[in-house]
Amino acid sequence: HLFFIKHRHILHLFVRMTSSSSLPVAAVCQMTATPDKEANFSACTRLVEQAKEGGACMVFLPEGFDYIGSNREETLQLSESLDGDIVSRYSHLARKLDLWLSLGGFHERGHDWKTDRRIYNSHIIMNGQGELVSVYRKAHLFDVELTSKAVSLKESAFTVPGPRLVPPVQTPVGKVGLGVCYDLRFPELSSALRRHGAEILTYPSAFTVATGAAHWEVLLRARAIETQCFVLAAAQVGAHHAKRTSFGHALAVDPWGEVTGDCGGSDVGLTLVQIDLQRLRDVRRDMPVQQHRRDQDFYCSLD
């Protein structure tokens, strides 16, 4: 059944329940970040608390959960290190509520910050004790000029591409493979995570309205189908400032490619989904795609 609850006129909570209440629950969140870091933290705290009330053991926040700046200089000026105030506050929140957090798309000051003033787009996994378990730095940067859609973004102007993938992380909802937003377009990344044991793929995002309407759902479902993983994609929604608006539709997709949660395209909120790993095992057993995959040399034979 699908239930719809409206909370304080701004928070929409969608809950998809299966026949068993013993399955772990993940919360996939949708928010509208602005350059106001304090307001963003308050909004995320409300979402995390709502997720806890709904029975979630892990909460997924979108890219830019900390802030979305209105220009390059503001984006850089607001950035922090992993041992700064924002990560510390989320650590306290995770510990207080005993929740795992996926903090997808933190503006992390780069290792050479003092000399080059560039940042990483970092996806942090934090456990219920508030400890950093893993950090993945976004590898594929969004440099796109869609003149017909009036979309112009050059992430590489201020962001350093991450140097490597990180192994999937064992969490209370399953083994989570880490990506960020534009990484969604590169199936090599999801295939590598699947080979290393991922059961859940994550793509915390801030898709533009133009690219979201065209590609968001179909890409998420494709990644789920080809890897036979759950896909959880927290999202930004609405107007962040005068120059930028995001598509929304934070989604949860099961290993068969069925959309099991969708936060819609207008409101702040979250979707709660039960993660049934037996469902995943059944899909992989019935259609053993990984066993049918040829060795790497075969796929490079055209080269």
Query: In b/e form, how buried is each residue of 197-208, taking b as 16+ CB within 10 angstroms?
Result: ebbbbbbbbbbb
Per the structure, the count of domains in the chain is 1
DSSP per residue over 171-237, as a string? ETTEEEEE--GGGGG-HHHHHHHHHTT-SEEE--B--BHHHIIIIIHHHHHHHHHHHT-EEEE-EEE
Task: Using pLDDT thresholds of 50, 70 and 90, give the confidence band for residue 6.
Answer: very low
- Considering the domain boundaries, does residue 89 fall inside one? yes
Instruction: Return the half-sphere exposure (C-beta side, CA atoms, 13 A cut-off) of residue 45.
Output: 15
Distance in angstroms (rounded) separating the CA atoms of residues 25 and 30: 17
Tens of pLDDT along 248-297? 999 999 999 999 999 999 999 999 999 999 999 999 999 999 999 999 89
The verdict on whether 63 is a catalytic residue reads yes
- The reply to whether 154 belongs to the active site is no
Task: Indicate the average pLDDT of the chain.
Answer: 92
CATH code (residue 58): 3.60.110.10
Mean pLDDT of 132-141: 97
Please state, in angstroms and rounded to a whole number, the distance separating the CA atoms of residues 285 and 49. 37
Q: Binning pLDDT at 50, 70 and 90, where does residue 146 land?
A: confident
Residue 11 has pLDDT above 70, yes or no: no
14 pLDDT band, cuts 50/70/90, is: low
Domain presence at residue 90: yes
Whole domain around residue 204: which residue ranges? 2-287
Whether the Cβ atoms of residue 12 and residue 44 lie closer than 8 Å to each other: no
Does a structural domain hold residue 298? Answer: no
For residue 193, tell me if it sits in a domain: yes
Average confidence (pLDDT) over 33-43? 98
In a domain, 303, yes or no: no
What's the CA gap between 218 and 207, in Å, rounded?
A: 13
Q: Verify whether residue 52 is a known catalytic residue.
A: no
Q: Under DSSP, is residue 4 helix (H, G, I), strand (E, B) or coil?
A: strand
Asked if the structure places residue 300 within a domain, the reply is: no
User: Is 302 part of any domain?
Assistant: no
**Which residue of the set 29, 181, 229, 263 is catalytic?**
181
pLDDT 10s digits, 58-79: 999 999 999 999 999 999 999 9
Per-residue pLDDT at 21: 65
| Residue 10 neighbours by CB under 8 Å, 6+ apart | 267, 268
pLDDT score recorded for residue 13: 56
Considering only the C-alpha atoms of the chain, give the largest distance between any 2 of them, rounded to a whole number of Å.
58
Residue 17, pLDDT score: 47
User: Per-residue pLDDT averaged across 95-103, rounded?
Assistant: 98
Say which of 29, 44, 63, 199 is annotated catalytic. 63
Q: Per-residue pLDDT tens for 187-203?
A: 999 999 999 999 999 99
Among candidate residues 29, 57, 108, 138, the one labeled active-site is 138
> Could you tell me where the DSSP H helices lie in the chain?
37-53, 72-78, 85-97, 113-116, 187-195, 209-211, 217-227, 277-286, 289-292, 296-299
201 token code pair: 């793929």
The predicted model gives 220-224 an average pLDDT of 98
